[in-house]
Structures are given as C-alpha cells and as structure tokens.
Structure 1
C-alpha cells in the first residue's frame, strides 16, 4: 500500500508540474489538487476496474486541459503519455507483487497448518506406539505370571500336600516343631507367590490411577466425577475405558469452549457404562455433522470402534453441551 501511494504521489506531482508549466493560475492550482485527490481516492477501491479507471481519469483530465485550455506544446502532451505509461506499468507491477505476496502468505499459512497436522499425527502415532509397547509388556508379564502359577505354584501345592500327609502320619514328637515350621514356610511362600503373580498379571492395571492421570489434563476445567470402580474388571474392558476417556478428554481440550466436565462410571454384573460431558456449545454445522455421523476427526470414530470391538455401543448426545456415552458388556468370571 505504501508503494502504491508513492506511485500516485509521484504521478500527481508530475501532472501538477505539467498543468502549471505555463505559469501558476488559480485554475491550474485547482486542477492540480483535483488530480492529486483523484489519484489518492483510487486507493480506496478494491475492485480492479474501478481502481484502474480512477487512476486513468486524472491523465485524461490533464490531457484535455492542456489541449483545450492551455494549448500545450507537443513535448508536454508527450510527457503526459510517458508519465501515464509509467504510472500504469508501476500500478500493474505493484498489483502483481501484492498477488504474489498474498500467495506467499497463503503458502506459509498452509505450511504452518500442515506442520501442525503432522505434529498432531506424530503425537498420536507415538501414543499408539506407546500403547502397543504397553500391551506387549503386559502380554509378556501375563506369560511369566502363568508360568509361575502353573509350574512353581503346582510344585509348592504338591509340597504342601505331601507335608500335610507326613504331619498326619508322623508319631515322632521331636520333629513335629520342625514339620510345623516347614509347613508355615511353604504356606508363606505360596502366599508371596500368589501376590507376585497378581502384581505381574494384567489385572493389576490401576484403573483409578489411569483415570485420575487423564482427568488431570483438564487443567482449565472444573471436573466432577461419579466413579463406581471395580479393579476386578476384565483387562480388555479396562483398556477400552482408558482409551475412550483419553479420546474424549483430548477432544474436549481441543474443541470445547466450556468450563465444566462431568465423568460418570457405573457397572453391574454384565456391563459397565461411562459418560463424559462438557458444557461447551456447538455450531449448527457441527450438530448436523454429528447427527449424520459425519465426523471430521478420527477421535470420535476411535471411540465408536473401541466400543463395537467389545460388542458394545457408543453414542454422542448434544443436550446441554456434548456427551460421549459408551456401554461395554463383559463376562463376569466371578460367578
């Protein structure tokens, strides 16, 4: 814009000098002012035809004035055409420069947006890799736990049974205390082995701890919870609950304009439910997309897939904010 102002100012000065070339008069001063104002007023219009027309009018006025009123010589008329050509070419070049600059800005903005998308995808990929490593670690721990339970546990159980038989038929009171001590040692060993197996086993995933860590990310929200947790839930249910909550919280942090989040978890003997609600508002366009299940991101799709993979369902409600609700069935092995 500053460059264009300079072009028009130089053109106005040039035209003013040409108009006043035969001596300063009141009429020529007025004409000079009008030429200057017309050239500067042209800057106020964004439409290119209007912009160029208002730029050309002062040159036409100057030419007519010089020929009809002042009876200018050929060099002065030629100067008008030279100055007009210079101004026109400068204006075209300036407009082209602005177009290229706008394209550069768009390219830079697109680059920033693509970089942001790439970072988000990389972050999600790293998170999925961490989860895969976690699952692989848990699978290996389960294998070790089963080996200990099936082999060492079996040997200890057989030793306890044999010792019990020996104690039953033993008649020597002198070795009775030693047998009692050995029996207590074997019982203690069995309890410690069971405790170690439980710690190694996948069921030792601390659901409450994981939920608290995820909800801890909602630093700018008031969080209300109603959690009916049972750590004896099946492992796949625990992992799905953690995954669904993580996706919902990520979605809230990215898109919600609310300030309160409510998390409710309930379970019975055959299924459990979780709902995550925030009090943010949604645009009409977003409501239509959600109603048609036309999701832009993959977060909501992941929630649906996690629930359906376990034979459950996931729904999204738009009443008083946005709610993610999932119902996950499971087999109660405790009978």
Structure 2
C-alpha cells in the first residue's frame, strides 16, 4: 500500500507541475488539489475498473487543460511519460504483491504439510510402541502358559507319585524323608503358581497402562474415577487399553476443550468406560455421529474393539464429546 501511495503522489506532483507551468492561478491550484485527491482516493477501491477509471481521470483533465496552453506538444509528452510511469509502476507493484502473497501461501502450506507429517509420524511411532508393548505382553503370556502347562504338570505328577509311594511304604525309617520331599514339592508347586500368576498379571498391568495413557493429557485438567480390578479378563483389559488410547489420541488431535473426565466402573457381568472432554462439536459432526456416518479410523476402532467382545460403544455430544463403551466380562 505504501508503494502505491508513493506512485500516485509522484504522478500527482508531475501533473501539478505541468498544470502550473504557465503560472499559478486559483483554477490551477484547485485543479491540482482535485488531481491529488482523486489519485490518492482511488486506492480505497478494490474494484479494478473503478480503480483504473479514477487513476485515468487526472490525466484526462491535465490533457484537456494542456490543449489550451502554449507548448502543447512538450506538455502532452510529459503527461504521456507520467501516465506510462504510473501504469507500469502500478502493474509491477501488483505483480510483486501477487508473488509475495503466493510466496506466503506456499510457506504456510509447507508449514501445514510439515505439521501434518510430524503428527502422522508421532502417531506412527505411538502405534509402533503399542505394537511392541502388545508383543511383549503376548510373549509374557506365552511363557506363563508354557510354565503352567509343562512344569506345573510335571510337579503335579511328581506329587501324585510321591503320595502313592507314601501310601504303600512300610519302612518307618523312610517316613521323615518322604514327608520332607512332599513338603518340598508342595512348596515348589505353590511358588511356581505364584510366579505364573505374577507373570501373567504383570503382562497386562491395567493401572500402569491407564496411567501412561492418561499422562499424555498434560494440557488438560483430568478427573478420574477408575475401578481397576486386575481380575478383569485379559482380552477385556486389552480392549479397555485400546479404547482409552484411541479416545486420548482423538482428544489431543481434535478437542478445543481444557477438561477431561475418565470413569471406569465394573460389576459382576460387565464393565463400562466413559471418556468425556468439554470441547465444542460442530453441527455437521453431530449429524454424522447421530447417523453413524462419521469418518475417522479412531472412532471405528473403538466401535470394533467393543463389538468384537460382544459389547458396544456409543458417542454422545451433550456438553462436549463423550465416548462410552460397555464390555461384557
């Protein structure tokens, strides 16, 4: 805008000099003022035709006035030079602003694309971490099953054989040794069962996983009411962890709120998980959710996790956005 003002100021100054070249009179002063005002006021209009017409009027006025003066050819030549300067300068300035805006738009698009790529990269890394974590859990479960099925069965057979030997034994001198061996085997069986139980429970630590996922909501005020019973079946634990992870990712990516409420309740036959944030929801998204025509992998994954266990998931938009999952035990 400043360059455009300068261009018109120079044009107005040149026309003023030409008009007052034969002497300064009241009419030439008034004409000079009008020329200056028209050239500068033309900047206030965005319409190209109005803008061009107002720019041309001062040159037409100056040309008409010059036709009645001395040295017409020289003055007309000077007006043509000024007109050419104004037109060329205006065109060059317009092109410069066009390329400048294009450069800014390209820079903004590049930043937006970079942010999208970074977000996808973070999501990919998070999914990879989750896959590694699930693979670790699966391996721990496999080891627990191997110990239970193999070592447990061998110890059970040894205890049964020892019981049979103790029953038919008639040598009192062997009684203390057989009892000691029986106690040792019983203790070994108890410790093996405890180790398998601990290994299996540690493989799906619901409290630890929930704490890690909720810890990602650093910029939100989080209120929790969690009934984290470790007796929940493994497949239900994995679904709860996956649903909470998807919900938190959805909040971090889309929510404009500042508060999150997470409630998990459990009874004899089922458990429920509710995640609510106080962000605003557009009418178009509300309509899609009401007709189950929503887009996005996250919400579909939540629905699929729940239905795969015979449960269901619902999405509500009252006072924010709520994900509610009900899973049978």
TM-score of the two chains, using structure 2 as the length reference: 0.89
Q: How does 1:103-182 map to 2 (within 5 A)?
A: 103-182=102-181
Q: Which runs of 5+ in 2 are unaligned?
A: none
Residues 258, 146 of structure 1: CA spacing in aligned structure 2 closer, same or farther, 3 A cutoff? same
Q: Distance in 1 between matches of 2:16 and 2:276?
A: 70
Task: Determine the structure 1 residue equivalent to 2:288.
Answer: 289
Residues 185, 72 of structure 1: CA spacing in aligned structure 2 closer, same or farther, 3 A cutoff? farther
Task: Determine the structure 2 residue equivalent to 1:333.
Answer: none
Q: Deviations over 1:25-72 (max 9, x none)?
A: 33323322322222222222222222222222221122122224x455
Q: Give 3-state SS (helix, strand or coil) of 2:104's partner.
A: helix
Instruction: Determine if contact 1:303/1:314 at 8 Å carries over to the other structure.
Output: yes
How much has 1:203 moved relative to structure 2? 7.0
TM-score of the two chains, using structure 1 as the length reference: 0.88
Q: Which runs of 5+ in 1 are unaligned?
A: 331-335
CA-atom RMSD, angstroms? 2.4
Q: Distance in 1 between matches of 2:165 and 2:203?
A: 37
Q: Distance in 2 between matches of 1:178 and 1:192?
A: 21
Residues 45, 327 of structure 1: CA spacing in aligned structure 2 closer, same or farther, 3 A cutoff? same
Q: Distance in 2 between matches of 1:186 and 1:218?
A: 50
How much has 1:87 moved relative to structure 2? 1.0
Task: Determine the structure 1 residue equivalent to 2:322.
Answer: 323
How much has 1:149 moved relative to structure 2? 1.5
Task: Determine the structure 1 residue equivalent to 2:15.
Answer: 15
Instruction: Determine if contact 2:137/2:203 at 8 Å carries over to the other structure.
Output: no
1:4 maps to 2:1: no
Task: Determine the structure 2 residue equivalent to 1:90.
Answer: 89
Residues 289, 41 of structure 1: CA spacing in aligned structure 2 closer, same or farther, 3 A cutoff? farther
Task: Determine the structure 2 residue equivalent to 1:42.
Answer: 42
Residues 296, 102 of structure 1: CA spacing in aligned structure 2 closer, same or farther, 3 A cutoff? farther
Q: Deviations over 1:281-316 (max 9, x none)?
A: 323333233334443543223222322333332111
Q: Distance in 2 between matches of 1:185 and 1:73?
A: 126
Residues 164, 5 of structure 1: CA spacing in aligned structure 2 closer, same or farther, 3 A cutoff? same
Residues 95, 279 of structure 1: CA spacing in aligned structure 2 closer, same or farther, 3 A cutoff? same
Residues 108, 90 of structure 1: CA spacing in aligned structure 2 closer, same or farther, 3 A cutoff? same
Q: Distance in 1 between matches of 2:293 and 2:66?
A: 68
How much has 1:317 moved relative to structure 2? 0.9
Which stretches of structure 1, 4 residues or longer, exceed 6 Å deviation after superposition?
A: none
1:61 maps to 2:61: yes
Aligned residues: 329
Q: Distance in 1 between matches of 2:263 and 2:76?
A: 85
Q: Give 3-state SS (helix, strand or coil) of 1:326's partner.
A: strand
Q: Give 3-state SS (helix, strand or coil) of 1:262's partner.
A: strand
Q: Distance in 2 between matches of 1:195 and 1:146?
A: 13
Q: Give 3-state SS (helix, strand or coil) of 1:231's partner.
A: coil
Q: How does 1:147-296 map to 2 (within 5 A)?
A: 147-201=146-200, 204-296=203-295
How much has 1:88 moved relative to structure 2? 0.9
Instruction: Determine if contact 2:141/2:203 at 8 Å carries over to the other structure.
Output: no
Single out whichever of 77-86 and 42-51 deviates more from structure 2.
42-51
